[in-house]
Amino acid sequence: MSFTVLNPAIEPAMLSAPFAPADFAYCQALSEALLKDPQSRDYPDLIALGFWLRQANLKPLLAPYQQSDFFRQPLGLIFHSAPANVDSLFVYSGILSLLCGNQNVIRLSSRSGGSTAVLIEKIRGIADAFPLQNARFQLIQCSYDSPQLKPLIAEVDGRVLWGSDQAIQAQRQLVMPAHARELSFGHKFSLCLLGAEALLQADDTQFQQLLQMFYRDQLTFSQQGCSSAKAVIWLGDTAQVQQAQQRFWPAFTELVAHKQPLNASEQYQALANAQQLIMSSDTQLTLTQQQTISRITVAQLEPMFTNLHQGCGLFLELALTDLQRLNPMLTQAHQTLTVWGVDTSQLKNWLSTVHTGLDRIMPVGQALSFSPDWDGVNLIEQFSRKIVCQV
């Protein structure tokens, strides 16, 4: 694959003071370009990104980092290697790094989808109005083993690697300076916790809201996002869980049939993947298929699920009466737990006992929301330097 610069710099790239007004204005311009374009309506991730980029969102989000007893300065040149599964994800980390004053080079995968093309068009469209910001937000497209990357990586002050564990290990073969920082966001497996009793007691309005929020989390990217749940944990006694499932899944599959987010290839992939999981398990697993949604009832989260589960409308289901039964099943690969219908104090008491796994606990409907804290790492702190002055 060739090495292509997608938005050539008009001005030389220069570092900036963190949280500069011109950088916030650049984000606002990109937000307006996305939200005003009818093309964006076909891509829910672009609408979400457009709202996230507004100054009204970013300024309060970053305000706590501007009040300190030290000087915050940019880290320098940051290389970002974006994942192919969630097209717009590269903008979130790239923009936070830009707002920290850094120069950024972002490698896009050749497998990036339709929303990436729209994003690139909008970024190009505001380049003339923001030449300095454009120079510090350079997009390139190449393979991760492209020879042109070697001299670039040799000069970076930091790099951010997103993707599969194998892709991250391969990219680590490119040597960066000893002082450079590396952030890696590898393969993750996320969960959704639903309270059975609360679901049974929910009125129709609450229930319909739950369905819409669950849909947003799981199927915006065909269940490919690292924070989209591949397993549903039901909390309650056996009778409650069975009744809750009987209420939830038919209504959810009806919603999916109406929206049709999964194409024929993805539906076939989910069925083939379900058979693969069943054959790979040491225990008896039960497969239930309702239209385009497939479910596998499991007695525990087996380690092989983490690597073999491919999403596309396939959900593992685990019923628990006690959340602490989940603890020995959790690994470092378990990232986000979305929660609905579980008492907050009960949840926090349980979380105090979780020593491995789970970096984010979010309400159902907020799995894909992006913040400076991601996978247990604060990106603002990593994208900037602290100068402590004690004179």
- Beta strands 314-320 and 293-297 are parallel
What integer pLDDT is reported at residue 125 of this predicted model?
97
pLDDT tens digit string along 1-59? 588 999 999 889 999 999 999 999 999 999 999 999 998 888 888 998 999 999 999 99
Q: How large is the angle between the packed helices 21-36 and 114-125, nearest 10 degrees?
A: 130
Mean pLDDT of 165-186: 94
pLDDT digits (tens, 9 = 90+) for 136-150: 999 999 888 889 999
Helix, strand or coil, per DSSP, at residue 183: strand
The pLDDT, as a whole number, for residue 229 is 97
Q: How confident is the model over 179-222, as pLDDT tens digits?
A: 999 999 988 999 999 999 999 999 999 999 999 999 999 998 88
The whole-chain average pLDDT of the chain stands at 93
Closest CA to 106 of 127, 92, 125: 92
Nearest to 323 by CA among 295, 304, 306, 344: 344
Tokens of 356: 């491995």
pLDDT of residue 81: 94
From the CB of residue 373, how many other CB atoms can be counted at a distance below 10 Å?
13
pLDDT in tens, 223-238: 988 899 999 999 999 9
Angle ∠(3,8,13) on CA atoms, nearest 5:
110
Measure CA 379 to chain center: 14
Whether the predicted pLDDT of 87 surpasses 70: no
User: Given this model, what pLDDT does residue 307 score?
Assistant: 87
| 3-class DSSP assignment, residue 188 | coil
Q: What is the pLDDT of residues 272-299, one digit of tens each?
A: 999 999 999 988 899 999 888 999 999 9
Contact 234, 194 (CB under 8 A): yes
46: tokens are 């672009």
In Å, how far are 130, 163, 223, 357 from 383, measured between CA atoms? 22, 19, 29, 24
User: Looking at 81-95, 154-168, 305-319, which range is the least confident one?
Assistant: 81-95
Residue 161, classed as helix, strand or coil, is strand
Q: What is the mean pLDDT of residues 162-190?
A: 93
Question: What confidence tier does 123 reach under pLDDT thresholds 50, 70, 90?
Answer: very high
| Verdict on whether the full-model pTM lies above 0.85 | yes
What was the pLDDT predicted at 112? 67
Look at residue 42 in the predicted model and tell me its pLDDT: 84
pLDDT at residue number 1: 58
In the DSSP assignment, the letter for residue 53 is T
pLDDT at 163 over 80: yes
Percent of the chain surpassing pLDDT 70: 98
Look up tokens 């499932």; give the residue: 245
Cα dist from 227 to 19, 72, 206, 284, 366, whole Å: 28, 30, 23, 27, 9
Cross-strand partners of 162:
185
Task: Please write the tens of the pLDDT for every residue from 329-369.
Answer: 999 999 999 999 999 999 999 999 999 999 999 999 999 88
Given this model, what pLDDT does residue 282 score? 84
Q: Are 102 and 139 in contact (CB under 8 A)?
A: no
In order of their start, the domains of the chain are 4-187+375-387 (3.40.605.10), 189-363 (3.40.309.10)
Question: What pLDDT is attached to residue 391?
Answer: 80
Query: Which ranges constitute the DSSP H helices of the chain?
Result: 21-36, 44-52, 55-62, 89-99, 114-125, 131-135, 149-153, 165-171, 196-201, 204-219, 238-259, 264-280, 303-308, 344-351, 379-382
Q: pLDDT tens digits for 100-112?
A: 999 999 999 877 6
240 vs 232: CA distance, rounded Å: 15
Average pLDDT over residues 374-389: 92
